[in-house]
């Protein structure tokens, strides 16, 4: 997942060469992703932004890489990657911490714990009494979920929350929605709500829409299958700006 501040590792040899080139004091942040998984798009943006902050401030020494978990399987298995997004923090070949899922606050906290911007050494300890607590740490579980949902619905210009995956829809409505998007060569992201019950239940309240699938465009809810069909009846070019040329492969981002 190429981003300006994260190096994409494409082969196992490249991986070994990169690790060998790092000084022992460098914090290596490894981002495992799958191109079809919508939450990975969000996490890639989050990590890129954090990496940019460290690059601008010039300290401490960090290295940021991304790896397609399905392409470089040997490396994925080394770190026991079973779901994406998955972030590993290591220094001098020692794993310090891992973060599974797409919670930006948890990832930022982990990075800053092991590479504090002021150069202080925490040794993995919790903040001492009296130290400032960030706003992210003050969030309630409900606020954390809403923050996650805001990120998910905006992870791609067109986001489909469905039962199952585009290759294996788990309900007829989701299958029809995928068919509509594919017929129009729409480039979209998706989220399998069956894999995360917090998202499944939380998005119903967040969107004030009780059923799935749900289609979101530019961070705004369009609705379910019936609403999408109505939009297309009123405007056959409704998805035109989100479509890719026929020569490219349309589908889940």
| Single pTM value for the model | 0.51
Which of 84, 118, 138 is the C-terminal boundary of a domain? 138
Long-range contact set of residues 196-202: C-beta below 8 Å, sequence gap at least 24: 198/145, 199/145, 199/148, 199/149, 199/152, 199/161, 202/145, 202/146, 202/149
- Tell which of 88, 123, 138 closes a domain: 138
Q: Is residue 2 part of a domain?
A: no
Same domain flag for 128 and 17: yes
Note the pLDDT tens digit of each residue in 89-123: 999 999 999 998 877 788 888 998 888 765 444 44
- pLDDT(59) > 70: no
Here the CATH number for the domain that contains residue 150 is 3.40.30.10
In a domain, 133, yes or no: yes
Q: Domain count for the chain, please give it.
A: 2
Q: Are 125 and 28 within one domain?
A: yes
Query: What is the pLDDT confidence band of residue 156, given thresholds at 50, 70 and 90?
Result: confident
Distance CA 5, CA 51 (A): 6
* 183 and 96 housed in the same domain: no
pLDDT at res. 41: 83
- Shared-domain flag, residues 114 and 160: no
Same domain for 167 and 219?
Answer: yes
Expressed as residue numbers, the domain containing 134 is: 7-138
Are 106 and 211 members of one domain?
A: no
């Amino acid at each position: 997942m190429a981003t300006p501040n994260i190096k994409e590792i494409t082969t196992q040899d490249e991986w070994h060469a990169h690790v060998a080139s790092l000084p022992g004091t460098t914090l290596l942040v490894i981002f495992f992703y799958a191109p079809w998984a919508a939450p990975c798009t969000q996490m890639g943006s989050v990590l890129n932004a954090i990496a940019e902050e460290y690059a601008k401030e010039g300290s401490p020494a960090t290295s940021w890489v991304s790896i397609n978990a399905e392409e470089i399987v040997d490396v994925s298995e080394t770190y026991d990657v079973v779901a994406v997004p998955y972030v590993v923090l290591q220094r001098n070949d020692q794993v310090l911490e891992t973060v599974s899922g797409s919670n930006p606050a948890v990832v930022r906290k982990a990075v800053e714990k092991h590479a504090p911007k002021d150069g202080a050494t925490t040794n993995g300890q919790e903040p001492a009494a009296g130290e400032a607590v960030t706003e992210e740490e003050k969030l309630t579980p409900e606020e954390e979920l809403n923050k996650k949902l805001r990120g998910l619905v905006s992870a791609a210009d067109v986001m489909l929350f469905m039962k199952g995956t585009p290759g294996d829809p788990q309900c007829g409505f989701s299958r029809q929605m995928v068919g509509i998007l594919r017929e129009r060569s729409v480039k979209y992201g998706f989220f399998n709500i069956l894999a995360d019950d917090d998202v499944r239940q939380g998005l119903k309240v967040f969107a004030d829409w009780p059923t799935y699938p749900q289609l979101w465009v530019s961070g705004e809810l369009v609705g379910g299958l019936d609403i999408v069909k109505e939009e297309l009846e009123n405007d056959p070019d409704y998805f035109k700006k989100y479509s890719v040329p026929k020569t490219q492969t349309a589908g889940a981002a």
